[in-house]
Amino acid sequence: MSDDRIARFEKRREVLTKMSDQQLKDRFWELCNQVVQPIVELGKTHTSPSIERAVLLRMGVDSVTTHGVVTRINEAGLLGKGAGHVLLKLSQKTGKDIRGAAQAVLDDAAVLQNLF
């Protein structure tokens, strides 16, 4: 390694050694969020109903259901959040599995209100 690279490493290391475990964890998650933020923004602007249906298929939702669910999510203005993410949030909120959450969206689009 070059001397410059080693010096930069030592400087960063010195800062990190002064941090507590909690500070290190907080810094880790802060950096993780910085890394994924561009991907999240790209997903918000570059998704489509067909991509979101494909995601739901891979999550175990049948093909007939995915069409209706993605349509409802799109109508609710939540497609940019990702249909899979929406179903995951709804699943956590209601205690249902992913398929149950998908059926809940089909049964009543109001379940999508105030989800985020």
User: Do the beta carbons of residue 72 and residue 109 sit within 8 Å?
Assistant: yes
CA-closest candidate to residue 97, choices 62, 58, 60, 57: 60
Query: Which CATH number applies to 48-112: 1.10.4030.10, 3.30.70.890, 2.60.40.1170, 1.10.8.1000?
Result: 1.10.8.1000
Which pLDDT score, from 0 to 100, does residue 43 have?
Answer: 75
pTM of the model: 0.65
* In the chain, domain spans: 3-44, 48-112
Question: What Å distances lie between residue 85 and 35, 56, 111, CA to CA?
Answer: 19, 10, 14
Which pLDDT score, from 0 to 100, does residue 2 have?
Answer: 86
Measure the CA–CA gap between 71 and 77, rounded to whole angstroms.
Answer: 10
Which pLDDT score, from 0 to 100, does residue 1 have?
Answer: 66
- Long-range contacts (CB closer than 8 Å, 24 or more residues apart) made by 6-12: none
Which residues of the chain are under the pLDDT cut of 70? 1
